[in-house]
Amino acid sequence: MRKKWGIILGLTGMMLLGSQSIYAAEAADGTAETTDAANEKETAGTDDIESRIKKGGFTAGVSVHDPSVIKDNDTYYIFGSHMESAKSADLRNWIGFSSGVNAENKLFDNLFDGEEDGDPAAFTYVGKNEEGGYSVWAPDVIYNKKMGKYVMYFCTTSSYVKSNICFATADGIEGPYHYEDTFLYSGYSYHDVKESNIEELMGTDPRPYTAASYDNNNWPNCIDPDVFYDEDGRMWMVYGSWSGGIFLIEIDEETGYPIYPEADEENHVDSYYGKKLLGGYHNSIEGPHIMYDETSGYYYLFLSYGNLQAKGGYQMRLFRCDTVDGTYTDAAGKDMYLFVEHKDHGLKMMGNYTFPSLTQTYMAPGGQTAFEDEDGKLYLVYHQRFAKTGELHEPRVHQLFRTKDGWLVAAPFATDGETLKEDGYSGDEIKGTFYLVNHGTDISDKVHKPQGIQLNADGTVTGEELEGTWEAEEGTPYIDVTLGENIYTGVVLAMTDEAGNDTMCFSAKGDNNETIWGVKYLLP
């Protein structure tokens, strides 16, 4: 068993001597002093922390919504909705290279061919949106090893259910991409089903022909495709938004098309849409992304909940499974296939928040993807809105870390070259004044503001509203923080915040599906 810093103390059962704990800290001269006295010394002078830290932030330089990330040679690329794309050498500073849903955008070479004679091929089913233009959303680019091509999966749409998923190919990462075909449709009824490929694929299946309207409680909205390889080298696509939930279908690596499965009602497999993983009944779940992590052996399913507007409660959630097709469960051990209310399901990785050093309040993070870099570091890539700037948004990238129980937690600040110290930090290095943000499990416009707490030398946590305990495993980066009845497991790391302050941070998850962040400013 590893030695641990800190002491697990049951707050209600702690032995007290008068008003002082019997646990003592060692004074500098070697004499013992009471813990209360030691803690008083730790907190002395902390009232002026916020006046001494630097305030600031940074800009990524571009706006890319629903960013999908891929690395090519030494350059990181993100592709997003509205045919926006950008590239970066450091995951912080981005340069755009395509913008706008129109023929002048050279990301595609044929997407708008025939526009003068009517809707181009990718839009013949969905038509134009309510603004009178075309919608191209949430692309995902993957290098298909067998095709020897970069393949972009994307969706076109015109309503909350009338959508389809298409794909295009290119010889180079920046394109131009050549539209190939459309293969999944949603939002049809018996009036317009013949405009899709349903009849061709399903034959005499009566389902599409007997419905006067699309059953969007049970069938998906065909948007937000995400394509990935599993541990055996098979290719899959996860997709869906609100409506009937999140679905998974295998992709034929030879052709780029789906492998339409045999129906299996018992295992929630539809012969056209594939396997339903979770969600439905128009719950606000979208933007699925699955990443297989060889180190932990888990498939991680990232999702966005809420409405994407700045005050819409948008946020990122996490499920996991040891097989690609489920069942995916959250940190509380719950799945969400049959459950209608989703607020308490899924580990909430990040919502609305701020810290004392930030000049912006961060709102509505989501539209995420994740990846493992060549050096083994994991990253979470997403779009970020802000308070008081309307619906302006930018991409952000935070490093991800594995907890000792195999979950993922995000660093509190945008990545800036930090590296997790695998042998951890001593208790003396960790203890001190932290600003704690608990992301909760709400889906709302609430901003989760920091509370000042003390991680004391005796293993206790104290604050105006919070009490608990903490322990750090010696020789590892792992930390446990107990607040009330909840235990949060995570990592401790040193990193620079977005204002340029050096910090000591922890990021930890609870079995209650909450994530907490703690930040200690390392003032000179």
Residues labelled as active-site residues: 66, 286
CA 438/CA 413 separation, integer angstroms: 15
Please write down the HEC assignment for all residues of 400-468.
Answer: EEECCCCCEEECCCCCCCCCCCCCCCCHHHHCEEEEEEECCCCCCCCCECCEEEEECCCCEEEECCCEE
**498, 414 contact by CB (below 8 A):** yes
CA 126/CA 118 separation, integer angstroms: 12
Give the 3-state secondary structure of residue 258: strand
Which residues lie below 8 Å from residue 360, measured CB to CB, with a gap of 6+?
57, 354, 386, 387, 389
**355, 362 contact by CB (below 8 A):** no
**439, 353 contact by CB (below 8 A):** yes
CA 226/CA 300 separation, integer angstroms: 13
| Amino acid residing at 90 | D
| Amino acid residing at 348 | K
Rounded alpha-carbon distances, angstroms, from residue 259 to 200, 264, 273: 15, 15, 10
**291, 231 contact by CB (below 8 A):** no
CA 354/CA 349 separation, integer angstroms: 15
And the tokens for 392? Answer: 């302006």
**238, 279 contact by CB (below 8 A):** no
How does DSSP classify residue 353?
B
In the block, which residue shows the tokens 């994740």? 370
Please list the residues that pair with 185 across neighbouring strands.
164
CA 435/CA 453 separation, integer angstroms: 6
Residue 500's region, left for phi above 0, alpha for psi from -120 to 50, else beta, is left
Nearest to 92 by CA among 378, 504, 498: 498
CA 456/CA 98 separation, integer angstroms: 51
Is the peptide bond between 206 and the residue preceding it cis, with omega within 30 degrees of 0?
A: no
